[in-house]
Amino acid sequence: MQLEEEIDLRELGQILWKHKLLLIVIPLIAVITSGILSFFVLPPVYEASATLLVNKGGQKLIRDDYTSLLAAKELVKTYNEIVKSRTVAEKVAQNLGGELKPEEIQEMLKVSLLKDTIMLTISAEDTNQERVAHLVNTVAYVFADQIKDMMAVDNVKVVDPAVRPEKPIKPKKALNMAMALVLGLMVAAGLIFLLEFLDDSLKTPEDVEKYLEIPVLGIIPRRD
């Protein structure tokens, strides 16, 4: 059994080596294409985020006041939806001078609850490096102001306003090229084995003995 496995692995290596050109060219084309797309075609995407603190009833929370903490967490879940509401988006659009539509703002926003806290994170991604931080801060302050009107409380404070991002988060050039290399190798290997499967010719004395189960009596040498 072990001998058969060794023979199979040897044949596998021989097949790949025979088509080594494909095994080199296809992954190389994939990596080059991915590099061109990542460096010159795909626009850089920037992310900015702001952190907000939610207090129950606008009062400071006592560390041991577990009931108040739970109540504040429930408020955070509600506020999560309010941040992405059309009312807030329309106000933000007005403050931005109509540069973005309310629907676009809603799609760009991401709101998450920091685990085991009563803090809310508002973030957005944009190809405009200058605009994204301004957008997030506008959303944060408009939301905090809207809460006063909607729920008659002043219990949302901006802890960390968004700052201008220095580096894009997308495209991830190295990751894209690594994935392209792996995909290229898989495509090349698949194509090689497909070619071998479609090729039913006998090329070596070993093939004759293996597939026809007859001994090889002689070999006619090839004349170059």
Average pLDDT of the residues in 139-148: 90
Average pLDDT on 67-73 reads 63
CA pair distance 10, 14, nearest whole angstrom: 6
Q: Among 155, 157, 168, 147, which Cα is nearest to 51's?
A: 157
pLDDT band at 12 (very low <50, low <70, confident <90, very high): confident
The domain defined by 46-160 carries CATH number 3.30.70.1130:
yes
DSSP percent split of the chain into helix, strand, coil, nearest 5: 60, 15, 25
Q: Is the alpha carbon torsion for 88, 90, 92, 94 positive or negative?
A: negative
pLDDT at 54: 79
Q: Are 161 and 80 in contact (CB under 8 A)?
A: no
Q: Are 132 and 125 in contact (CB under 8 A)?
A: yes
Question: 2 pLDDT exceeds 70?
Answer: no
pTM: 0.72
pLDDT in tens, 79-126: 878 898 999 999 999 999 989 999 999 999 998 877 777 788 999 999
The ranges assigned to domains in the chain are 19-41+171-212, 46-160
